[in-house]
Amino acid sequence: MTFWIDVSAIKAWHCLNHHGQRRRGFIFSDTAIETALIVKGILKLKFR
């Protein structure tokens, strides 16, 4: 499977910030989350 992703989408995908504390995750953009959910749906993957 090949994905064609626009440069502007890649720039919007990056992590917005990190909390800086241990065990706290990154905050990802809505674009990254939506793309991951679309790929999950297409490939019929489990949530984790």
Q: Which amino acid is at 29?
A: S
pTM: 0.60
Residue-wise pLDDT for 6-40, tens only, equals 888 777 777 666 666 666 667 777 888 888 888 88
For the chain, domain boundaries = 7-17+25-43
Q: How many residues does the chain have?
A: 48
CA dihedral for 30, 33, 37, 38, sign (positive or negative): positive
Helix (H) or strand (E) holding 21: none
Look at 29 and 42; give whichever has higher pLDDT: 42
Helix (H) or strand (E) holding 41: helix 30-43
Helix (H) or strand (E) holding 12: helix 7-13
